[in-house]
Structure 1
Amino acid sequence: MNGIQQKELEKKLKNKHYDIVFIGAGVISILEAVYQSKLGNSVLIVEKDDDIGGAWRPIDIFGYKNIENAIHYFLHDDIAPNFMEKNLNWELIQTKNKQRLFKIKFIDKYIKFPFHNSIGRFLSYLIDPMFLKKDNNIFVKTLDLLKKIYQESGQASYYVKGGAVEIIKTVKEVLKKSSVKVELNTNIQSIEIDDNHKIVNLKSDKQSFMCSKLVLTHGARLPKIKSNKKEYSPVEKFHPRPAVHLLVEDNINTKIDQWIFSNNEIIKYVHDLTKFIDEKDRQPDTKVFVFALHPHIQKSSDIYINLHNEIIKAGIAGKKSSLKDYHWTDVFLPTLYDKDLNHIKNEFSPCISFLKTENFSRGIGYQANKWSSRIKV
C-alpha cells in the first residue's frame, strides 16, 4: 500500500465502523441484530421510518391508538411457535374463528365454510387461477389438489393474543436491553464495497459509516451496489396490496372475526380488529374492520360504501349497521425476491448477506434454534 492509499484508508476509518449493519428495523432483523450483538459484534440498524417495526408497526386511527395496520396472521411452522412462546413470552392463539366465503353471483349471496373444512378448502383451490393455468390434465390436477388438502389438514394458522402491539412491545424491550444502535429517519444513498479490505462503505442522507458485513431483507430499499470489480442495480418489484379500515357502528355479535373471500373481485380478506383495541378505549356497538383488497383496486369515493355493503351481504355486519369512518393505506409487498437477495449475496459475499423475512413465522423458524441460547424476554 502506498502513502496515498494509506491516507485514504485512514480517512475512511475516521467514519464509524461497525461489525454488522442491518438495513431495515423489521422484527426479524431486530432479533438477529440483538443476537449478533450478544456474540460481541458491534451492530447498527438503519431504518428509513421514524420508528421500528416495519410491516408490523401499528397505526393510530379513528381516535384509537395502536390498531393493526393490515391483515396479519402466522402461517404454519414447526419451530417458530416454541421460540415465540418460550423465548419471547408471546401467548399464541390458534385461529379458530375463521371462515371461507364463496359468492353466488347470480343471487348476490354468500355460502360459508369453516376455514379448515375440506370442502371449502377444495373449492377455494379449484377456482384459483393458478390452479386452472396448470398444464397437466384434470385428473392429475385433482389428485395433486387432494394431496395438498390432506397435507394442510393439520396446519393451523395462529397469532399473538395481544396482536402487533404485543409483538412490537416485546421487540422494543429486547432491543433496549442490547447494545444495538438504531438510526431512524435514515436512508441509505450509496453502498460501495472495498474488495481488498472486505469493508462496506455506506453513505446515508445524514452520515457515512462502514461495516464488515451488511445484512439485507426482502423489504430493503437499495441504491446501486458497487465494488472494485463490479456493480449491481437491484430491480425493485412493487406489488400493491391496498388495505382499508372501516369504523362501523353495529350491535350484532358474531363469534367469527376472520373471513377469506375466495371469489370476490374486490376483497381478499377481512379481519375484525375490535378485540385488539384496549378495553378502556372501546366504544359500545362499534367495530373496526381491516380489509385486504386485490392489487388492482384503486382508491375511489365509493369504495368504502361498497365494502360496507359487501360485509352486510356476507353477514359480517348487520343490515342496520352504519359506516362511521374509513382509512385507506397503500401497502406494498417486499420489493426483493429470494433470487434477488441470493444473487446479491453471491456477487458480494462475504460482505453482504440476507435474512428471509417474507414469511414471518418461517423467517423466525429459520433462526429460532440459533437465537434461543441468546434471546429470552
Structure 2
Amino acid sequence: MTEIQENTFDVIIIGSSPILLIEALYLDSTGLKVAIFEKKSRIGGAWYPESLWGINNIETGCHYIDRGKKNYNFLRKFLNIELQPQPRHILWKETNGNGQNSRSGIKTGIQNSLAILFKNKLIRRDLWDVYNHGRKGRIKNALFSLANLLKSQPFLYPIHGCKSIIDGLETKIDNSSVRLFKNADVKSVHIAEKGSHNRCHVGTQNFTAKRIIVSQNVSVDIFMNGTSFLVDQELQPYTHVVLRIKGKKRPEFNYIDVIQNPMLRRVQDVTSYADFGSNSDSSDLLICCHLVPGYAEKELQADEIFAHLIELELLSDDSELLDHHLDRYVATLCVQNKKLFELESSLPEELTIMRSWDLGINLEYYSDRWAPLLANTPIKLS
C-alpha cells in the first residue's frame, strides 16, 4: 500500500464484503468520513469471482440470497440488478454406517426413516423448511415456508451472478466520499478510552477513527484497555472447491444444501454465471462445493470430492474431473450468530464486529437501518 497522507476518519471499516460496503455507503450518506481497508487488491471478499483455466467470472463460493421482498427490492433498486429464479433443494442422506446419529428414540427413528425415503433425492427447500421448522416448534416459519411452497414463490439470484453485486457496490463507492484502500492489511486495532481516538496499524502507518468496524470474517488483533482481544477466537474454517468437470448432471440442479454428510455442506452449479470466451469449452461443468468444517481441515483430495458427487448421483458415471481450485477461509463465529450478538453486546460503542455472513439474512436484518439509501417509490416484485 502506498503512503497515505490523510489518516484520520470518523469510521474505519476493516474488510470489504458486500454488507460492509453497504454499511460504508450508509455512513457516508449521513455525512461521516469513512475509510475501508481491504488487504487484497480487489474488494468483495468471498463474493468476488475468479478467473481460472482461461474462464472469467467463476464464482468460487456457494452463494445464495434468502427469499424476502426487502432483500430483492434492495438489490433491484439500489444496485439496479436483474434477478432470476435460483432453484434450491435439499439432498438428505444418512451417512453413518450403522444408520444412527446423535439423536435417540422416536426422533432418531423418524429421521432415519425419512433419510431412507428421501435417499439421494432432491427435496424442494420449502418442503424441507416446513418439516424442519415444524419439528423445532417454529410454527410461524413453518407456515411461511408452506405458503411459499403452495405459491411456488422462487428464490432469486442475480442473473449475472454475484459479480454484478460487487461491481454495483464498487461503482457506488467510487461515486461517494468513502475512501477505499486496497492492499491494506490491518495488523492491529487499538481501542482507546472514551473520548480518545482509536488506532489502526497498517504496515508502517497509523490511522485513527472515532469508531472501528471489523468484519466477522476478518482475523485481526484488537487491544482494549491494553489487553489483547483476538477477533479470531472460535474460528470456523471453511473451504470452497470448484471442480471443472466433463460430464452431465443428474438430475438437473442449481443449488443444494446437503444434510447429514461428512464431506459436503453445499453444492452449486456455477457454470451459467461464468464467461468462457472463445478459448474454453463451454460444455464443461463448473461445480462449486462448500465443505463441512471438519472435512475442510483435512488434506484436500479433489478426486475424493468428485467421486462423492458421483456416489450421490449428482453426476453421470462417465463424468471426468479435469481440474480443481480451492479457497480456504476462516470466519469468526460465522455459524453461531447468537454468540456474535452476545459478543457485540459486550463491546464498547467504539468497536463493532459486523456480521457479514449470508447476504440475504443481513439485508433483512439491516433493512430498516439502510432504508434511507433507497428511493421512496417501492418496486413490485414480478
Runs of 5+ consecutive residues of structure 2 not aligned to the other structure: 100-115, 149-153, 376-382
CA RMSD of aligned residues (A): 3.3
* 2:160 alignment partner, one of 157, 162, 175: 162
Query: Percent of counterpart pairs with the same letter?
Result: 19
* Alignment partner, residue 361 of structure 2: 362
* Alignment partner, residue 60 of structure 1: 51
* 1:88 alignment partner, one of 76, 79, 87: 79
Q: How does 1:31-70 map to 2 (within 5 A)?
A: 31-70=22-61
- 1:174 and 1:221 map into 2 onto residues whose CA distance is 26
Matching residue's letter, 2:145: E
Q: 1:238 to 1:84 in 2, by over 3 A?
A: same
Q: 1:76 to 1:334 in 2, by over 3 A?
A: farther
Once the two structures are TM-superposed, the CA of residue 234 in structure 1 deviates from its matched residue by 2.9
* Alignment partner, residue 144 of structure 1: 137
User: Could you report, residue by residue, the CA deviation over 1:202-238 in whole angstroms, capped at 9, with x for unpaired residues?
Assistant: 22213112112212231232323234xx645135222
- 1:22 and 1:268 map into 2 onto residues whose CA distance is 30
Matching residue's letter, 1:364: L
Instruction: State the TM-score, normalizing by the size of structure 2.
Output: 0.77
**2:65, 2:157 within 8 Å by CA — same for their partners in 1?**
yes
- 1:143 and 1:48 map into 2 onto residues whose CA distance is 41
Q: Does 1:75 align with 2:66?
A: yes
SS at match of 1:213: strand
- 2:139 and 2:343 map into 1 onto residues whose CA distance is 36
User: Could you report, residue by residue, the CA deviation over 1:1-57 in whole angstroms, capped at 9, with x for unpaired residues?
Assistant: xxxxxxxxxxxxx97211111111111111111222232221111122222111212
- 2:33 and 2:141 map into 1 onto residues whose CA distance is 45
* Alignment partner, residue 324 of structure 2: 326
* Alignment partner, residue 124 of structure 2: 115
Greater Rg over alpha carbons, structure: 1
- 2:49 and 2:222 map into 1 onto residues whose CA distance is 31
Q: How does 1:1-377 map to 2 (within 5 A)?
A: 16-96=7-87, 98-102=89-93, 110-116=119-125, 118=127, 125=132, 142=135, 144=137, 149-154=142-147, 157-195=155-193, 197-227=195-225, 231=227, 233-234=229-230, 236-251=233-248, 255-278=252-275, 280=277, 283-297=281-295, 298-300=297-299, 303-335=301-333, 339=339, 343=343, 346-349=346-349, 351-374=350-373
- 2:312 and 2:90 map into 1 onto residues whose CA distance is 11
**2:239, 2:329 within 8 Å by CA — same for their partners in 1?**
yes
Q: 1:310 to 1:347 in 2, by over 3 A?
A: closer
Instruction: State the TM-score, normalizing by the size of structure 1.
Output: 0.78
Once the two structures are TM-superposed, the CA of residue 328 in structure 1 deviates from its matched residue by 2.6
- 2:65 and 2:222 map into 1 onto residues whose CA distance is 33
- 1:291 and 1:41 map into 2 onto residues whose CA distance is 40
Runs of 5+ consecutive residues of structure 1 not aligned to the other structure: 1-13, 126-130, 132-140
* Alignment partner, residue 128 of structure 1: none
Matching residue's letter, 2:290: A
Once the two structures are TM-superposed, the CA of residue 96 in structure 1 deviates from its matched residue by 2.4
- 1:53 and 1:325 map into 2 onto residues whose CA distance is 25
